């Protein structure tokens, strides 16, 4: 007899932004990971979802290679990075760590597609045909394939990257031309705001878009995954159907480098 409301997150954690304590030991990382996983499990169960449906992607941007090694020792086997050159450097310097995979989650310039093609196991910010074409060509040359997410601008902010929601259907129809790209789903960044209903609207609109698109996707494209939610808002995202949450600060600690370095809008 569950009398809890179906969704009940009423505040974002964005006021914590910049205040998370630094993780400086394997134990710190173990504790932070456990806490985040517990929050994922709690919110999933509350809305009747299986916590196993939600993948936690730890986001390690700005943190040093020694810190990434601690995170690895605490169990992280996949790390998300926003900037490809930073990711590529870390990949090279941490290549002694078995089974560590890299997910590039930030905007990519076409001329850097060859770096992603070389080392990434996932790319979450596909937002143009030109980029799809460049990635596919570079992947073919490397003999690799890549899981990709199409980034959608659900907040309507002109400074945010991603396709407009009404461009996604046409875009997906082109994807079968790029045989090295395996489209897995959609990704979005919500409005960065403490206004929960407006944040929730971003996530809900990505899910609704996905549900509509599913009826007309071409062969080879799957839209099972929705990558949405970060430290301040991942619980709202899970309530709205996220299958991947990208969490940095709640695991690694506050970042010294301002987010404007990563998100032109911040
Ligand atoms: C940095 C970043 C995140 C994680 O943000 P946190 O506040 O550290 O959890 C998620 N997604 C993208 C695209 C990012 O650049």
Report which ligand 1 atom has the smallest distance to the Cα of 263: 15
Residue ranges of the chain with per-residue pLDDT less than 50: 1-4, 266
Q: Looking at the 3D structure of the chain, how many domains does it have?
A: 1
Report which ligand 1 atom has the smallest distance to the Cα of 125: 13
Q: Cα(89)–Cα(200) distance, rounded to whole angstroms?
A: 35
Q: Cα(216)–Cα(11) distance, rounded to whole angstroms?
A: 36
Question: Is 8 domain-assigned?
Answer: no
Report which protein residue has its CA nearest ligand 1's atom 6.
Answer: 248
Report which protein residue has its CA nearest ligand 1's atom 14.
Answer: 82
Distance 216 CA to ligand 1 centre (A): 31
Distance 177 CA to ligand 1 centre (A): 30
Distance 232 CA to ligand 1 centre (A): 9
Report which protein residue has its CA nearest ligand 1's atom 15.
Answer: 82
Mutate to test the pocket of ligand 1, among 82, 227, 233 (most ligand atoms within 8 A of CB): 82
Distance 141 CA to ligand 1 centre (A): 31
Q: Report residue 54 CA to chain centroid gap.
A: 12
pLDDT for the residue numbered 103: 98
The structure's pTM equals: 0.94
Question: Is 138 domain-assigned?
Answer: yes
Question: Is 231 domain-assigned?
Answer: yes
- CATH, residue 24: 3.20.20.10
pLDDT in tens, 58-67: 999 999 999 9
Handedness of CA 132, 138, 140, 146 (dihedral sign): negative
Residue in 152, 143, 198 with CA at minimum distance from that of residue 171: 152
Question: Is 226 domain-assigned?
Answer: yes
Report which ligand 1 atom has the smallest distance to the Cα of 259: 1
Question: Is 52 domain-assigned?
Answer: yes
Question: Is 77 domain-assigned?
Answer: yes
Question: Is 2 domain-assigned?
Answer: no
pLDDT in tens, 87-135: 999 999 999 999 999 999 999 999 999 999 999 999 999 999 999 999 9
pLDDT for the residue numbered 160: 85
Report which ligand 1 atom has the smallest distance to the Cα of 82: 15
Domain that holds residue 87: 18-256
Question: Is 9 domain-assigned?
Answer: no
- Lining residues, ligand 1, CB within 6 Å: 59, 61, 82, 105-106, 189, 230-232, 246-249, 262
Report which protein residue has its CA nearest ligand 1's atom 7.
Answer: 231
Distance 236 CA to ligand 1 centre (A): 15
pLDDT for the residue numbered 5: 52
Distance 96 CA to ligand 1 centre (A): 26
pLDDT for the residue numbered 9: 79
Helix or strand or coil: residue 34? helix
Bridge partner residues of 55 (DSSP): 244
Sheet holding 122-126, edge to edge: 55-58, 244-247, 225-227, 181-187, 146-151, 122-126, 101-104, 78-81
């Amino acid at each position: 007899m569950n009398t809890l409301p179906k969704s009940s997150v009423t505040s974002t954690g964005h006021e914590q932004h910049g205040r998370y304590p630094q993780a400086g030991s394997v134990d710190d990382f173990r504790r932070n990971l456990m806490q985040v996983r517990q929050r994922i499990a709690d919110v999933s169960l509350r809305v009747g979802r299986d916590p196993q449906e939600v993948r936690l992607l730890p986001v390690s941007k700005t943190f040093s290679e020694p810190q990434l090694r601690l995170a690895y020792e605490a169990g992280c086997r996949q790390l998300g990075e926003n900037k490809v050159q930073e990711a590529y450097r870390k990949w090279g310097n941490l290549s002694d760590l078995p089974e560590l995979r890299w997910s590039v989650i930030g905007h990519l310039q076409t001329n850097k597609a060859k770096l992603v093609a070389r080392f990434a196991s996932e790319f979450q910010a596909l937002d143009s045909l030109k980029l799809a074409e460049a990635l596919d060509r570079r992947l073919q040359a490397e003999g690799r394939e890549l899981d990709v997410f199409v980034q959608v601008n659900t907040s309507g902010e002109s400074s945010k990257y991603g396709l407009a929601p009404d461009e996604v259907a046409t875009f997906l129809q082109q994807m079968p031309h790029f045989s090295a790209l395996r489209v897995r789903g959609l990704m979005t960044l919500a409005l960065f705001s403490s206004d929960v209903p407006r944040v929730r609207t971003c996530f809900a609109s990505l899910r609704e878009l996905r549900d509509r698109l599913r009826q007309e996707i071409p062969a080879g494209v799957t839209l099972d995954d929705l990558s949405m939610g970060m430290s301040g808002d991942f619980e709202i995202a899970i309530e709205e159907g996220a299958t991947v949450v990208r969490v940095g600060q709640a695991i690694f600690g506050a970042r010294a480098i301002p987010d404007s370095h990563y998100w032109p809008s911040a």
